[in-house]
Amino acid sequence: FPNLQPDGAAYLPTLIRGAGEVTRSKLQLHPAPGGDPMHAFALVCYALHMVQFGAAPTQNFFSLIERVLQSREPALMDLVQGYMHYLFRGINCIPPAAERVLYRGVPRGKLDAFRTHYQSGRRAHWSGITTVSSAEGVAKRFAGAGGIVIEVTARMTCSIKEWSVFPEEELLLLPNFKALVTRGLTEVDGWWRLSLCEIQPSCPASSSEAGVVLCPSGPAPCPPSCG
């Protein structure tokens, strides 16, 4: 992690302690996905925001994992291979949520890239795990003033609400999520709005199709089956 982010590993001991406590508490209320507590622990680690313990946003564990997947460096991938096994097993053991409208916030620093690539009628391909929320307000907080609020009509998502400490429902778009841009960037009430609609199952997918945008997440392996 230090190769990706200075002091990137500084909060890992705090993460492990905090996630362990949360997991023990959650397992008193919910059965572990697939019957394995390690699946639950992996999901809690991903959902736990380290900012509440004083970390910078880039030191969040989920942010570091996304950057490892984007880098595709063999040494880094080897380091997280065991964790990713339990995370994807856990994800795949959770029943998919029904089709619904969800939200993701992106800071205004990405605005130029979104203007270029996310035009109406184009297709988007997000090859990594993408976190979305059922609450528009959560996306606005992540986007910040002048940021981008993405409205996603998703047909296949995984809800990790039972393993999150936040009251708002948090969901994951699985690797290789594909969508059509149904409405390009439009400025509304201090935020830029963008609308996407999922067009086909997540996995497998090809990046060779016309109009595909490999943003905002990096490459990630497809989840194994549960069993």
| Predicted confidence (pLDDT) per residue in 68-101, tens digit | 877 778 888 898 999 999 999 999 999 988 899 9
Domain count along the chain: 2
Residues 124, 210: contact at Cβ < 8 Å? no
Q: For residue 145, tell me if it sits in a domain.
A: yes
pLDDT of residue 176: 82
pTM for the full predicted model: 0.79
Do 166 and 87 belong together in one domain? no
Do 164 and 139 belong together in one domain? yes
Q: For residue 56, tell me if it sits in a domain.
A: yes
Cα-flanking dihedrals φ and ψ of residue 67, to 5°? -70, -30
pLDDT of residue 201: 57
Do 131 and 53 belong together in one domain? no
Q: For residue 159, tell me if it sits in a domain.
A: yes
- Between 21 and 165, where is the model more confident? 21
Name the one residue in this structure whose structure tokens are 């940021």.
Answer: 147
pLDDT for 219 beyond 60? no
Do 84 and 108 belong together in one domain? no
Do 136 and 63 belong together in one domain? no
Long-range contacts of 28-33 (CB under 8 A, 24+ apart): 29/162, 30/162, 30/163, 33/89, 33/90, 33/91, 33/93, 33/94, 33/226
Do 187 and 116 belong together in one domain? yes
Out of 51, 71, 92, pick the residue that ends a domain. 92
Do 19 and 60 belong together in one domain? yes
Name residues whose C-beta falls within 8 Å of residue 53's C-beta, 6 or more positions apart in sequence: 11, 14, 18
Q: For residue 69, tell me if it sits in a domain.
A: yes
Do 165 and 140 belong together in one domain? yes
- Which residues on neighbouring strands pair with residue 131, listed in sequence order? 172
Q: For residue 192, tell me if it sits in a domain.
A: yes
pLDDT for 225 beyond 60? no
pLDDT of residue 116: 94
Q: For residue 210, tell me if it sits in a domain.
A: no
Three-class SS state of 128:
coil
Q: What is the domain range of residue 20?
A: 12-92
CATH number at residue 138: 3.90.176.10
Do 116 and 51 belong together in one domain? no
Do 127 and 155 belong together in one domain? yes
Do 88 and 104 belong together in one domain? no
Residues 4, 51: contact at Cβ < 8 Å? no
For the stretch 2-29, pLDDT in tens is 666 677 788 889 999 999 999 999 999 9
Q: Please, what is the average pLDDT of the chain?
A: 84
Out of 36, 58, 92, pick the residue that ends a domain. 92
Do 159 and 110 belong together in one domain? yes
